[in-house]
Structure 1
């Protein structure tokens, strides 16, 4: 069966909400996420709100009419948020790097592939589809260092870890996209917040 990856806009992504919810539930039930299946319902509700964010884009993979993976992204606001994990990210990077690297950049919010679809390059295709419109190549994402398979995917596709641990029990790390202008500076170890 052939898998198709296509980019969808805000108004269209809701058509795929049930399949996205199912992929989310199966992808994030396993370690290191260990999410309760009910969290997939919460995500499906959040997806409708996220689709209203400036610069929202999504990529959906389907095979035989069934959603097998998805990715979502939007433009990070110029005033960096403080909710969710954003405050910890800003603390790790400092105000200067947060502003230069993340504000106004395309932020990959979610990327998930159904476990039965792993190993066929679907994650890389979804990531590529959703980050194509990144302004000046500026895109970034946040994941856990415990998500070893995800980190291998990101590094294999040219993403670079920022050498600044994000505080908190989730063991998060920021990654900059393959064309991000801050990539070279990301690993210099100079974390004084400039």
Structure 2
């Protein structure tokens, strides 16, 4: 595994191709590959400049990316773009502030199909969150990604209860520590 910060941009093309392969396959098969490619490439260019950005990549012997994990330290004020509004709806502003702001936010975790079932996802996630501020990390997942949800539950990530009546299509997980 290789650790990256801003230098992730050196392998941005390879990372983008791995992302597209993973996140246009089931259960995300409804995503257009070209639109996914363009959106992720733009996002990684921006995300690499976030405070606390870090990434881990697992490379095969032939130099291909088998898996990756990216993230950064969640800043205040809590964002409202992407799925962040759903996180605030689900947990409420006070719990977002208490649980998520200042913690390490895992943004993307992906393992190519040929490397699944090897423990690679767990190793990547553990390596990247090992130095999380105060041992605190969080992530969100789509509620229709059933295998993904089962994976996080199996490795001990916890789900804070949503506010009554405020379930969304995202599930928030807190790191086991």
Instruction: Verify same fold: TM over 0.5.
Output: yes
- 2:24 corresponds in structure 1 to 29
1:77-156 maps to which residues of 2 (within 5 A)?
A: 77-156=75-154
Partner of 1:182: none
Deviation at 1:162, TM superposition (A): 2.0
Q: Which runs of 4+ in 1 moved over 4 A?
A: 165-168
Q: RMSD of aligned C-alpha atoms?
A: 1.5
* Counterpart for residue 12 of structure 2: 17
2:6 pairs with 1:6: no
Q: Deviations over 1:134-175 (max 9, x none)?
A: 11111100001221221222122210122217655xx21000
Unaligned runs of 5+ in 2: none
8 Å Cα contact 2:15/2:65 also seen in 1: yes
In the alignment, the residues of structure 1 paired with residue 3 and residue 52 of structure 2 have an alpha-carbon distance, to the nearest angstrom, of 13
User: Does structure 2 conserve the Cα–Cα contact (< 8 Å) formed by 1:16 and 1:67?
Assistant: no
Unaligned runs of 5+ in 1: 180-194
- Using the size of structure 1 for normalisation, the TM-score is 0.83
Corresponding residue number in structure 1 for 2:56: 59
Q: Distance in 2 between matches of 1:129 and 1:22?
A: 22
- C-alpha contact (below 8 Å) 1:105/1:138 kept by paired residues: yes
